[in-house]
Amino acid sequence: MSAGTHGWLARFDGAQALLVAARELRALGYTRLEAYTPYAVEGLAEVLGPVRNRIPLLVLLGGLCGGFGTLFLQWYAAVVDYPINVGGRPDASWPAFIPAALEMTILFAAAFGVAGMLLANGLPRLNHPLFGLARFEAVSRDGFFLWLRADDARFDARQARADLERLAPLAIDEVGA
């Protein structure tokens, strides 16, 4: 296997065979597996394991940055930079600051959520390593594929291929760069 490879892609003859293969590989200690099917396979997501999701934390941080940043900006403008006496009200009139801070909280939370989602999905990505394989075109019709990624801690090229071959796939392809 060359240095620019991304792992092995195995094609299976059906959803059940793919599910069994994913279970076997997880039992062997592989954690970086991805499955591609033409339709949702019940139980496959649980077998592949949980995906770390940091989007809610990004949304919270974005909302806090937007809200507190806007409150600080309004306070600074009204109290420090350009204080104006309007009808004897205090310079730091917090109730007047709330609507803009609320709007910016929502805006920043949404923007951080969208940016986080794009980054988590590896987007924008114009080309994926799997798109270079001719067999992978069948995934939208009748192909059931399992990608054993090379960035897995347990991945060894020869051992990983041997582990896949024991599962009797229809084909095994090297995923190149």
Q: Tell which residue, 46, 48, 49, 96, has the closest CA to residue 71.
A: 96
pLDDT at residue 36 is higher than 80: yes
- Cα dihedral 77, 97, 94, 114 in deg (nearest 10): -110
Phi, psi of 144 (to 5 degrees): -120, 105
Q: Tell which residue, 34, 22, 28, has the closest CA to residue 136.
A: 34
Phi, psi of 68 (to 5 degrees): -70, -35
Each residue of 110-125: pLDDT tens digit?
Answer: 999 999 999 988 888 8
Query: What pTM was computed for the model?
Result: 0.71
The mean pLDDT value of the chain amounts to 91
Q: What is the DSSP string of 14-69?
A: SHHHHHHHHHHHHHTT---EEEE-SS--TTHHHHH-PPP--HHHHHHHHHHHHHHH
Least confident of 11-15, 113-117, 125-129, 170-174: 125-129
Q: What is the DSSP string of 110-140?
A: HHHHHHHHHHHTT-S-S--GGGG-GGGGGGG
pLDDT of residue 87: 83
